[in-house]
Each structure stands twice: as structure tokens, then as C-alpha cells.
Amino acid sequence: MKILILGGTVFLGRHLVESALTGGHEVTLFNRGRQRPELFPQVEKLRGSREGDLVALRGRRWDAVIDTSGYLPRVVEASAKFLSEAVEQYTFISSISIYAKYFPGMDESAETSSLTEEQTKEADSIAAGDHTSAANYGALYGPLKAACEKAAENAMPGRVLNIRSGLLVGPYDYSDRFTYWVHRVAEGGEVLAPGRPERPLQFVDVRDLADWIVRMIAAKHTGVFNANGPDYPLTMRDLLEESKRLSNSDAHFTWLTDEFLIESGGTPWTEIPLWVPEQWGSLKHVTFQRALDAGLTFRPLAETVSDTLAWDSTRSSHTLRAGLTHEREQQFLDMWRQQKVE
């Protein structure tokens, strides 16, 4: 099978290339060549920009295209229209963040968010380099992905596979949300642990998702699939204890309540990764039974943790993009102990 990947050198895209090559497929990358251009020397690389420079794709044919980098609906629509005669199927990497509301048991039929005209203009301004509104990008992310799904489907009706991914973790994760915990626990000592130890977690190893997507494309699947994981109960305690065991760390965990962290100014998800106060409602735990029925499988947590730890150890001078600084963590711990004394 001949696969065109829009992107292909960052995190999921990188793993998609590796999975496709392992499966014996022929891969072509289309990107600007700005991020890790040295990767995959054996793969054909076409240069261009999705913002109006698609010339390198003209006159070519592939069996399928995977869009790993689509954020603006107009850009996704332009790519899909340009490729509509060149590919049989268009796979768009979306997100479970697209839903308008979250409730127990929700599936792919739940209502998705919509963009206002003002939000669309704001997103275009950010993409054009106007960073005055960049702080709002997180709020725009879900609605933008929802609009991108519709744009792809409008351009190639009945030929689109929309993958609504949950939190992706594993080697080469540039967000460092999962890596922070693996890294911090390996350092040892007293570790701030957020919320309730038995608080449930959901995420999917990026390699499991990549392997499954390639299989889905080979089987010519279309439609919408929530893709999250794992398919067994997983808690914050499980993650921390497994990280401790695999790193042979002397870490010990001090569990700070949601209420305390909120009152003390803790910032969920970024400053304190994988933590969202349970009283805020759903943690976006959506149903992904359709993906399970279609063959999505999961490797053991131990493999994800150990491989992430091994990759992280190669980044000796890297500053984590997410997580508490040691000073901030100690500040929270000191305030927690002071509160207990009072």
C-alpha cells in the first residue's frame, strides 16, 4: 500500500511512519522540512506548505493519506480537495476534545463543538503569527478539530476516517505531560501526587494507536472512532507505583487533595499534568468500544513507562515543557504540611 503522510516527523507522525514501514508499506512524507528532516532517509520526502503550496503533490497517486497536522478547517479542506482524485481514503487525526459536553458512556454520536465566525478569524490570526490571542488557542482546539473533520468529509464524502484520539503518551512525546511523571518519580524523594490515588486515568500509547491506524487504513475503514485507552482499569497510583518500580527509585508519594490544590493555585493539566479536579466533572473519559471492536489493542503499562523512561534519559539537557519545577513542588508540599499543623 502507498501511503502519503502530511507531517510525519513529530510524535504520532513519526510512529505512523515507523509502523507503516514495518508493515511493508511505501511511505511518502509531505511537509516543510523544518522539524527533524534527517529522519527516515529511506523515505520519499516532498516539500511544500499546506498554506497554499501543494504543488509537489500534483500528478501523484497514493492509496491513502494520513493528515497528522490539520488544525485549520480551510487548510484541511484545501488539502482534501487537492488530493480527492489522488487518494482513495483520507485519514484525519482528530481529538476527543471536540465534544460539546461530556457525560458517562458518551460515544461517537455525541454532539461536537462548533466554531463561531469570530473564533475562526481568531484561529487564522494565531496561525498567521499573531500571538496576542495565543492564550485562547486551547479553547479553540476542540472546535477547530470538529470543523476540520467536517471539512475533510465535505471534500471527500464517505471516504474519510476520523480518529478522535485521547491523550497520547510514549517516546518522543513533545508535550511531556506523561513524561513528567516518569521523569519525576525516577528522580526519587518526596513526590507531590495530585488528587485521589484511585482516580482513574485514560491515555493510549502512541505506538498502539499508530499500529492500529495503519491496520485500519489497510482494511479500508472509514467513519468516526474514539481512540483512547487502556482496556483495563488504570489509576494515578498505578502509574506512579509502576514508574517507581521500573526506575528502581526511592520515591515516596504525598497525596494532595483536589480541594487543596485548587485553593493553592495549582494549574490542572499543564503545571500538574494528568490532573483535573474530579469535582469539575468529566475527565473526558469517553467510550471507545468501536475502536476495540475494530482491533485497537494495548501494550502493558510497564512497557510504556520503561520505554518513555529510556527515551527521556537520552535528553540530558532538556527542560520539560510540562510539570512542576522542584521549587514549585516544594512550595505546595510545605503549604500542605503547614495546613496540617494548623
Predicted pLDDT of residue 203: 96
3-state secondary structure of 272: strand
Predicted pLDDT of residue 105: 87
HSE-CB at 312 with a 13 A cutoff on CA atoms is: 28
Are 226 and 162 within 8 A, CB to CB? no
Predicted pLDDT of residue 285: 76
Pseudo-torsion of CA 12, 18, 19, 24, nearest 10°?
Answer: 150
Taking the chain, what is the end-to-end CA distance rounded to the nearest angstrom? 66
Residue-wise DSSP of 189-256: SEEEEES-TT-B---EEHHHHHHHHHHHHHTT--EEEEE---SS--BHHHHHHHHHHHHT---EEEEE
Neighbours of 78 (CB within 10 A): 17
Task: Please list the alpha-helical segments (H only) found in 49-197.
Answer: 73-83, 117-127, 137-155, 177-187
CA dist 321 → 36, 126, 180, 245 (Å): 19, 20, 9, 24
Match 493528515 to its residue by C-alpha cell. Answer: 67
Closest CA to 155 of 86, 214, 215, 218: 86
Predicted pLDDT of residue 138: 72
Provide the residue type at 231 as one letter. Answer: D
Predicted pLDDT of residue 128: 65
pLDDT < 70 positions in the chain:
128-137, 281-284, 342
Closest CA to 308 of 170, 169, 168, 167: 170
Predicted pLDDT of residue 130: 57
Are 65 and 90 within 8 A, CB to CB? yes
Predicted pLDDT of residue 37: 94
HSE-CB at 88 with a 13 A cutoff on CA atoms is: 11
Q: Which H helix or E strand runs over 24?
A: none
Can you list the pairs that 28-32 forms with residues at least 24 positions away whose Cβ atoms lie under 8 Å?
Answer: 28/2, 28/3, 28/4, 28/60, 28/62, 29/4, 29/5, 30/4, 30/5, 30/6, 30/56, 30/57, 31/6, 31/7, 31/69
Predicted pLDDT of residue 237: 98
